[in-house]
Structure 1
């Protein structure tokens, strides 16, 4: 195909799709356009028919928040100008965690967004982005930042998990003062770390990982009473199913390696979805029987996959991370 024909084709596609761009290699070998179809400068708002994610495909829109229809995840990605290292949304509220460039020690902007992805509130907090979630009622956003080390596999890592009440403006920079009971006794430890909050539909019950003395515990907590109890061990980055019956999480199998697991909160039975590859993130429920999660690929970036509780995994969105439904 001649260069003139290629340019003409791209021009036509741009007119039809509202600035759809593809990869074009410069003489230096670098990508000057996006490596996947992208629809730029399109309005983006939260709704249940859309999957939002961090675009990791090469090109000028890499690192931006992107969106595709739930029913057509292979569609051209809509992008705006919002860049997030972690993103989550629910009921017209979203949270965007963004590392401040050049900050030493690292600082993260925690940005609360409305249904039109306009900024409502911002806090600058110490650490690097790790996890983010919004309660199902949209009233509380939460986050986890690394304040030392850069991964859960690192020796001596430390996390700081906080909450922000959207309606009241109440900011909890760390939940370390949560009263936690293990085996019936109040637990105190200088090395206690919390990460991966997930709220129930009532906006009060929540679950979080407590790590201390080489162990991890699943804490079930009451937000208003600010009290929690350990109900299981070896549970990290919990994610509560929409019906409140199950916790999906990453289960440690060896140093620096985890697999997907699901805990039934009634029977305490643990099952494993048919995903044999390591998963190092907080899974996301799509309904009550499917999980979304990132897996590292051969290019050392991430793809978003989905897996049923009993059905095989499938590639959902390549070169993407931090999935969320609007």
Structure 2
């Protein structure tokens, strides 16, 4: 038994070291000349309409920096800011930057909240490595998910920690795991419950998220003020609520193949109808709605978009980009 425990601990240390090493490698990719056309030295505002904001992942000195292109001409040279993030999100003039601290064990992340002109207004230091981030439609709430280690129930050595910062009140919820959840009308509790992928409704009161427990994932609908939630559906990961508040884009597990387990889908909340989207590749991302008809997401090659009704086909918007946010 002791040998098995030591083996698990050793595996966790190796995985954490690999994650940190990858972060350092990513930062080292900033040498030389930018692999794409870049415009530097111009101000970037997250409130300017008609733009696509994203994290630049093209090789060069601006790797990891916030970038923007015209939404209707995404192939234009990208304008880059000095802000460097591992995950980025923005809405209603509020921006969220999740930046892993390089060379730190156990891993730590800076949660940085900025105004429309990228001036820092709040900074938190939290344990874990960045996974997901979002800003509520009204710009008053920011959310994040971190990968963390050390939970005794986590057989893989890793689990998630989802938190919310209320900018209007200053209230900080480092984790939503104490939230009351109803499953089939009964209060559900298990020591292995994890949450990730929060997405807020326009009213700032209601949010959706993924709950993972006992090898299954569920979509929950939560009341932020009452701190209560109910399970709506099984097999929903990384939900993203449409601008009209009627549909959710999400990752649906369709295969046991660990190399390609998911398909993007859209759930109609009123009817319960699911629609698989035309993107047939496995997408490991929390999709972002560009408008009520289109969702965008990151793949290894860059940012892609696909119609939200299952029609058409996927198209690449930006080569070398991630964390898309439309304004």
Counterpart contact for 2:89–2:97, Cα < 8 Å: yes
Cα deviations by residue, 1:80-134 (Å, 9 ceiling, x for unpaired) = 2100000001001110000001110000000000010110000000000000000
Where does structure 2 lack aligned partners over 5 or more consecutive residues? Answer: 1-29
Q: Which residue of 1 aligns with 2:23?
A: none
Match for residue 206 of structure 1? 207
DSSP-derived class of the 1:254 partner: coil
Report whether the alignment pairs 1:306 with 2:305: yes
Which residue is 2:278 aligned to? 274
Task: Kindly report which structure 2 residues correspond to 1:26-37, keeping only aligned pairs within 5 A, or say none.
Answer: 32-37=32-37
- Kept after mapping to 1: 8 A contact 2:131/2:144: yes
Q: Which runs of 5+ in 1 are unaligned?
A: 1-29, 297-301
Provide the rounded CA distance (Å) in 2 between the counterparts of 1:278 and 1:293.
11
Is 1:113 the counterpart of 2:117? The answer is no
Q: CA deviation at 1:31?
A: 6.0
Name the stretch that deviates more: 31-40 or 137-146: 31-40
Aligned to 1:295: 299
Preserved CA contact (<8 Å) 2:266 2:277: yes
TM-superposed CA distance for 1:157, in Å, is 3.0
Q: What residue is the counterpart of 1:22 in the other structure?
A: none
Partner Cα separation in structure 1 for residue 70 and residue 167 of structure 2: 27
Alpha-carbon distance between aligned partners in 2 of 1:200 and 1:169, rounded to the nearest angstrom: 20
Q: CA deviation at 1:295?
A: 1.7
Q: After the TM superposition, which residues 113-152 of structure 1 pair with which residues of structure 2 at under 5 Å, given as runs?
A: 113-148=114-149
Q: Quote the Cα distance in structure 2 between the aligned partners of 1:31 and 1:157.
A: 32
What is the distance in 1 between the residues matched to 2:326 and 2:156?
Answer: 33
- Pairs aligned (count): 288
Q: Normalized against structure 1, the TM-score is what?
A: 0.86
Shift of the alpha carbon at 1:155?
3.5
Change (3 A) 1:89 1:168: same
TM-score w.r.t. the length of structure 2 is: 0.86
Moved over 4 A (4+): none
Displacement of 1:48: 2.8
- Residue 325 of structure 1 deviates from its aligned partner by 2.3
1:66 CA displacement: 0.7
Contact 2:239 2:286 in 1 (8 A): yes
Q: Deviations over 1:61-91 (max 9, x none)?
A: 1111111111211111111210000000100
Distance 1:94 1:214 in 2: 33
When Rg is computed on C-alpha atoms for both structures, the one with the higher figure is 1
Which is worse superposed, 136-145 or 167-176?
Answer: 167-176
Q: Could you tell me how far apart the structure 2 residues matched to 1:285 and 1:186 are?
A: 32
The 2-side partners of 1:212 and 1:101 are apart by: 31
Q: What is the CA–CA distance in structure 1 between the aligned matches of 2:120 and 2:66, rounded to whole Å?
A: 14
Structure 1, residues 143-198: CA drift from partner, whole Å, max 9, x if none?
A: 0000039xxxx935300000001122111100011110000110100000000000
Corresponding residue of 1:194: 195
- Residue among 231, 242, 264 paired with 2:268: 264
Partner of 2:318: 317
Q: Distance in 2 between matches of 1:156 and 1:213?
A: 15
Find the residue that maps to 2:299 and give its secondary structure. Answer: strand
Judge which range, 180-189 or 42-51, deviates more: 42-51
Matches within 5 A, 1:217-228: 217-228=218-229
- Matched residues in 1 for 2:55 and 2:188: separation? 37
Alignment of 1:160-175 (within 5 A): 160-175=161-176
